[in-house]
């Protein structure tokens, strides 16, 4: 097992390397780019573009940029613009590119490179991308953990019961609902939820909309549990529908495999109650493949639920990525893509390891 893990980890390194080259080329070589002037009302003039290019290091060939991105540039001299005396650093691009406010100097590079945990600064905010990612990740994890808890509470009993009572009315209803749940486009479900709970249904006492249409909390309000909960209901519902149908269907088929096996019959023959047989003996084994599936789904949890976050203006990873894709914020895009790819590779490994740990019949060599 130890050897197996080490070998898989060693295999992951070249894989990660190749993927990072591919992603870097894709992000950096694409036409358009961050300086095409989207999102700003002013078109940039060539002089301003030249300055921005130097500031972002885009004047270097792409292979040099990749090396700097990977291992940093603090071992080499960089031409750098520093603010002229008396001019503060402004966060917006337009203000930063007035040539009079900058002086050219040559100084030591400061980028440490991805291998040393430095993903660079965002083009948009000019702050370290990892800071934004940390905040966004917390918000995504908050939403996701609540969503997944509810998913587990619903999916496990539903999956077990519909397997135990295969072809019963309950099973038929559940199966139909799961077909419906999987066919609804996620973002459309969100739109319909907003339509029902924000536009149509009103609070009978105050006449306000029943639920807020977005955000994590009401702006400018002090923390209140009710307010935060109200903001959670719609995004969580939107996320839960997709995950519940996916997991309950999976658990149903995995339960069906298990309950026809001999040891379940033995347990029943011993006179155990049905509840005990199904929920204790059978469920344990039926959950085995589910653990693997869950490990494989980890990247989606890290990436946050893109459509939920965009629809409900939830400041998480998905929305951060969406904004970065629109801005072509190279460091931000590369940081998120790299982190999520790492999570994908490691969760694949994790799935295999957990499976072998839980099921003694499986051996890797």
Which positions lie near another protein, rule CB under 8 A? 15, 18-19, 23, 26-27, 30-32, 36, 167, 179-180, 182-188, 191-192, 194-195, 198-199, 299, 303, 306-307, 310-311, 321-322, 325-326, 328, 333, 336-337, 340-341, 344-345, 348
As a whole number of angstroms, the distance between CA 249 and CA 299 comes to 21
> Which helix (DSSP H) or strand (DSSP E) does residue 244 occupy?
helix 225-259
> Which helix (DSSP H) or strand (DSSP E) does residue 107 occupy?
strand 102-108
Structure tokens at 217: 């909390």
- Indicate the residue among 23 and 358 with the shorter CB distance to another protein: 23
Identify which of 12, 10, 9, 89 has the alpha carbon closest to the alpha carbon of residue 55: 89
- Indicate the residue among 145 and 176 with the shorter CB distance to another protein: 176
- Indicate the residue among 102 and 247 with the shorter CB distance to another protein: 247
> Which helix (DSSP H) or strand (DSSP E) does residue 102 occupy?
strand 102-108
Minimum separation from the CB atom of position 338 to another protein (A): 10
For the chain, helix (H) and strand (E) counts, in that order, are: 14, 2
> Which helix (DSSP H) or strand (DSSP E) does residue 83 occupy?
strand 77-83
Inter-CA distances, 324 with 20, 40, 62, 93, 164, Å: 18, 15, 19, 15, 47
Minimum separation from the CB atom of position 284 to another protein (A): 24
- Indicate the residue among 19 and 358 with the shorter CB distance to another protein: 19
CB atoms within 10 A of CB 196: 13
As a whole number of angstroms, the distance between CA 96 and CA 304 comes to 32
Structure tokens at 315: 């400041």
Minimum separation from the CB atom of position 95 to another protein (A): 25
Minimum separation from the CB atom of position 305 to another protein (A): 10
CB atoms within 10 A of CB 17: 11
- Indicate the residue among 17 and 75 with the shorter CB distance to another protein: 17
Minimum separation from the CB atom of position 179 to another protein (A): 6
Structure tokens at 166: 């295969």
CB atoms within 10 A of CB 158: 22
- Indicate the residue among 96 and 241 with the shorter CB distance to another protein: 241
- Indicate the residue among 102 and 252 with the shorter CB distance to another protein: 252
Minimum separation from the CB atom of position 172 to another protein (A): 10
Minimum separation from the CB atom of position 324 to another protein (A): 9
């Amino acid at each position: 097992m130890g050897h197996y893990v080490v070998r898989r980890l060693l295999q992951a390194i070249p894989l990660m390397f190749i993927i990072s080259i591919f992603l870097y080329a894709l992000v950096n070589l694409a036409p358009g780019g961050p300086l095409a002037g989207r999102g700003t009302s002013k078109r940039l003039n060539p002089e301003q573009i030249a300055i921005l290019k130097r500031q972002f290091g885009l004047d270097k060939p792409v292979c040099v940029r990749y090396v700097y991105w990977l291992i940093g540039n603090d071992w080499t001299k960089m031409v750098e613009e520093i603010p002229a005396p008396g001019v503060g650093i402004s966060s917006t691009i337009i203000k930063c590119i007035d040539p009079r406010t900058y002086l050219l100097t040559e100084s030591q590079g400061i980028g440490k490179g991805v291998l040393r945990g430095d993903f660079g600064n965002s083009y948009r905010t000019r702050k370290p991308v990892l800071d934004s990612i940390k905040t966004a990740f917390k918000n995504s994890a908050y939403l996701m953990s609540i969503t997944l808890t509810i998913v587990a509470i619903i999916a496990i009993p539903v999956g077990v019961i519909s397997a135990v009572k295969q072809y019963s009315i309950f099973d038929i209803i559940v199966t139909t609902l799961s077909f419906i749940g999987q066919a609804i486009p996620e973002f459309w479900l969100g739109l319909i939820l907003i339509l029902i709970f924000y536009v149509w249904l009103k609070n009978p006492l105050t006449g306000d909309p029943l639920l807020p249409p977005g955000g994590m909390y009401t702006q400018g309000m002090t923390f209140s549990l009710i307010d935060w909960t109200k903001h959670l209901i719609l995004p969580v519902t939107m996320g839960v529908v997709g995950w519940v149908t996916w997991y309950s269907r999976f658990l149903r088929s995995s339960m069906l495999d298990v309950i026809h096996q001999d040891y379940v019959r033995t347990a029943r023959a011993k006179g155990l109650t049905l509840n005990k047989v199904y929920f204790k003996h059978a469920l344990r084994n039926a959950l085995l493949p589910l653990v693997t599936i869950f490990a494989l789904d980890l990247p989606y949890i890290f990436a946050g639920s893109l459509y939920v976050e965009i629809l409900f203006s939830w400041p998480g990873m998905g929305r951060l990525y969406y904004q970065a894709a629109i801005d072509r914020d190279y460091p931000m895009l590369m940081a998120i893509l790299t982190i999520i790819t790492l999570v994908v590779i490691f969760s694949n490994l994790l799935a295999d390891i957990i499976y072998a740990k839980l099921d003694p019949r499986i051996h890797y060599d």
